[in-house]
Amino acid sequence: MRIVIFLFFVFSSMLQAQDPRLAQQYFSDGEFEKAAGLYQSLYQKNPNNDSYFNRYLDCLLAMKQYDQSEDLVKKEISLRPKEVQLYVSYGNLLIRKNEEEKAEKQFELAIDKLPADVSAIHRLANSFITLAKYDLAIKTYEKGEKLMKSQVYFTYNLADLYRRKGDHQTMLKYFLDGLENNTVQLSGVQSLLITYLTPEQYKSLQASLYQRLDKNPESISLSELLLWSFIQVKDYANALRQAKALDRKLNENGNRVYNIAVASAADNDLRAAIDGYNFIKEKGASSSFYHEACRQVLFCRRQLIVEKNDYKKEDLVQLESDYQKYKDEFGSNYLSASLIIEYAELEARYLNNLDKAIQLLQEMVKSNYVEAHIKAKAKLDLGDYYLIKGERWEATLLYSQVDKDFKEDELGELARFKNAHLSYFAGDFEWAKEQFDILKRATSKLISNDAIDLSVFIIDNLNQDSTGVSLSMYSKAELKVFQNQYDSALMILDSIPFNDPDTKFLEDDVWYLQAKIYDHLKQTDVAIKKYEMILEKHKEEIRADNALYELARIYDYQLNNKDKAKELYEKLFIDFSNSVLAVEARKRYRVLRGDKVQ
């Protein structure tokens, strides 16, 4: 008998356990009538289980049994008048019956009866969110703030609701509140702002942050968000200002300043990068970033001179002094080798101190501390400087040494290109063209492109002037430019008579070389005029895309006229889409437009 009773209870328990699972299965399969019967039974046996009540009501609504649903909800409200979720259920039912006004009254009633309980407030707000009633969810949380006498429980929720509504200004207000009261995480706010803020809205964010920091200057979270916002819009100067202030306040090691300086350099904001690296230098050798900051500040200042042509005479003198200080402090070793090559370049090409440049590189070539590839690079530059001095045989000897030692390497290709170029300078055009034709297949795209250009240039000019006199004059002018003898180069170029049909074809090349010289001499207006003459009279010729690119760079880096530069870059990649310069022009155009470029 005991066994029978035991088995009866076991069987009953198994049936009870199966009922909810079976009811859920019917509901999932859309068999609402079967599910309703089971949920009704479960609800009657467990009247305090909200889950069974809600599922039963869902089944009735799915079957559009609205009268029965209303009777069920009203009965439950009479039993539990303080349960605010029931008023939401009733309101949802009334919406199904197209009784919107009555539904709104039920929703308002739910908010009016809201208890001072954080969990209950969140549950009611989530019910409204499920129904996409964001304004009612906001009203719930605002009532909750009054009931709890504090904003801290619902700050993030309110910010998120305003985000859903598209009210980004109020969203920002609550996110900033949350940062101040430590109820939201900075990383979470940043992730959302990246998605939803436009460049113009970042300005509004920054204005709000400044106002709050005036009242709460000790807030690290607000300061870090302000710093982050400047980085997003690539305003590195202001980002560094904030980073340096945080570094001092938190007694840091310069890490965040260093990272921003790196980002600035990568985005071509070299002056901001220099500012950041100098801050690291001022912290002294105890900083783990000190040595690299010393290297990078020199690199960036060199970039301004060599790549951007953005400098004054005093900048050259100061950079020379700083290179020497670096050499004195860190000595000659494998880490400083590349910087010493740059130092020699500054002396030879910008300060006209060839002897100093040659001395620096001779020391490197003779040393044992320099890696073979860097030593070969030094030899190639040393060959250039001997050529500038007019010592052609010393130059070709050094080029040939590198060619022999790095036959299958890009350095060997560069050495062969320099030897071929030397022959071009000397007027041995046929031999130079043969070498350029071989170098068209160079693994280096830059060397290959230059070899193609020079080969085409030679054959075109020899075809139009079989004597080669005009080409010889032009190549001598190029050699004078290479040797920093700009006045002599201009005299030769001016002596080429363009009224002669045999030299008319060189007109755009002469203007282009003149423009490069005037640009180097900081006679920017004259350089611009020459480039514009090429674009006006020789827009179909080979120099047109180069002239357009150089013109864009002048407006970009020297005149700081970004709108004009952007216009010229766009014209280049549209009108000269096949040019090798089109990719760089498009990339710089996107940067100036404010796009995020990887």
Structural domain boundaries of the chain?
407-464, 471-593
Q: Check pLDDT > 60 for residue 567.
A: yes
> Does residue 454 contact residue 446 with C-beta atoms inside 8 Å?
no
Read off the tokens for 126: 């989530």
Q: State which H helix or E strand residue 259 sits in.
A: helix 255-266
Band of the pLDDT at 65, cuts 50, 70, 90?
confident
Q: Which amino acid is at 242?
A: Q
Q: Check pLDDT > 50 for residue 188.
A: yes
- Token pair 């080969």 is found at 455
In this prediction, residues 226-249 reach a mean pLDDT of: 95
In this prediction, residues 8-27 reach a mean pLDDT of: 59
Q: Check pLDDT > 70 for residue 9.
A: no
Cβ count near 515 (within 10 Å)? 26
Band of the pLDDT at 597, cuts 50, 70, 90?
low
Band of the pLDDT at 47, cuts 50, 70, 90?
confident
> Does residue 210 contact residue 222 with C-beta atoms inside 8 Å?
no
Range with the lowest mean pLDDT among 95-104, 217-226, 420-429, 471-480? 95-104
Of 559, 556, 558, give the one whose Cα is nearest residue 592. Answer: 556
Range with the lowest mean pLDDT among 66-70, 112-116, 338-342, 411-415? 66-70
- Token pair 């080429």 is found at 496
**CATH code linked to domain 471-593:** 1.25.40.10
What end-to-end distance do the CA atoms of the chain give, in Å? 80
CA 486 centroid distance within chain: 39
In degrees and rounded to multiples of 5, residue 497 shows phi and psi of -85, 110
Q: Check pLDDT > 60 for residue 581.
A: yes
pLDDT tens string 100-118: 888 889 889 889 989 999 9
Range with the lowest mean pLDDT among 15-24, 220-229, 523-532, 568-577? 15-24
pLDDT of residue 83: 83
CA 290 centroid distance within chain: 25
Distance, CA of 346 to CA of 215 (rounded, Å): 50
> Does residue 538 contact residue 544 with C-beta atoms inside 8 Å?
yes
> Does residue 253 contact residue 207 with C-beta atoms inside 8 Å?
no
Query: What percentage of the chain exceeds 90 in pLDDT?
Result: 58
CA distances in angstroms from 154 to 151, 161, 191, 340, 372, listed in the order given: 6, 11, 19, 60, 65
DSSP, res 305: H
In this prediction, residues 411-440 reach a mean pLDDT of: 95
pLDDT of residue 4: 42
Of 119, 169, 161, 117, give the one whose Cα is nearest residue 139. Answer: 161
User: What are the CB-based long-range contacts (under 8 Å, 24+) for 56-62?
Assistant: 57/89, 57/93, 58/27, 59/27, 59/32, 59/33, 59/35, 60/36, 61/92, 61/93, 61/96, 62/32
pLDDT of residue 417: 96
pLDDT tens string 369-393: 889 999 999 999 999 999 999 999 9
CA angle at 395 for the pair 394 and 397, rounded to the nearest 5°:
65
DSSP, res 559: S
Distance, CA of 270 to CA of 297 (rounded, Å): 9
CA dihedral sign of residues 122, 127, 128, 134: positive
pLDDT of residue 406: 95
Residues with Cβ within 8 Å of residue 456, at least 6 apart in sequence: 542
pLDDT of residue 502: 54
Please give, one letter per residue, the 3-state secondary structure of 268-294: CCHHHHHHHHHHHHHHCCCCCCHHHHH
pLDDT tens string 144-162: 999 998 878 899 999 999 9
- Token pair 């400047």 is found at 230
User: Rounded mean pLDDT of the chain?
Assistant: 88
pLDDT tens string 268-327: 899 999 999 999 999 998 889 999 999 999 999 998 888 888 888 899 999 999 999 999
Q: How many residues does the chain have?
A: 598
Read off the tokens for 299: 């690199």
pLDDT of residue 74: 80
Residues with Cβ within 8 Å of residue 314, at least 6 apart in sequence: none
